[in-house]
Amino acid sequence: MAEFKEIIMPFKNTPGGIIQAFHAVQKKINYLPENAIIDAAEVFGIPVKEAYGVATFYSYFSIKPRGKYIIRICESAPCHVAGAAEIIASLERELGIKIGETTGDGKFTMELTECVGQCQATPVITINGKPYAGVTPQQVAEILAEYE
């Protein structure tokens, strides 16, 4: 538990600090475990319910364990029409999971996202924030291999 307090503490006196603290926790382990939420409530002197509310309000926070690498597939219109569905199908085949799931080895999680501002070459996916634009279903295995 102390592990999370150490991460959270530096944001104690920052306005909106709990959000930054949650970002910092998530950056480290890719989700917000219950202990981190409890620790944050204590550090910021707010009820656990309120800290939990912050953690669940923003879509970029996850209270479910996620993989080391988060693959996000853009589903906004330009990517959608460019074949995002085929990219999803290809990722699902390669990884054996569906959107919202994590591989058994805890390595990859698949999520959908809105436009990530890379529409010049669609469809777009990101892996831990790194964009891949103009992806084809054939390229999926090659991209994943970078993370093996």
Least distance in angstroms from the C-beta of 6 to ligand FES: 36
- Which residues in 88-147 contact ligand FES (CB under 6 A)? 115-116, 118-119, 122, 124
Which is nearer to ligand FES, 50 or 75 (by Cβ)? Answer: 75
Nearer residue to ligand FES within complex by CB, 40 or 74: 74
| Cα→Cα distances 138→6, 29, 80, 87, 128, Å | 44, 30, 17, 9, 21
In terms of DSSP bridges, do strands 125-127 and 130-132 run parallel, antiparallel, or are they unpaired?
A: antiparallel
Nearer to ligand FES, 96 or 117 (CB): 117
CB–CB of 73/123 below 8 Å?
A: yes
Q: Which residues bind ligand FES (CB under 6 A)?
A: 74, 76, 78-79, 115-116, 118-119, 122, 124
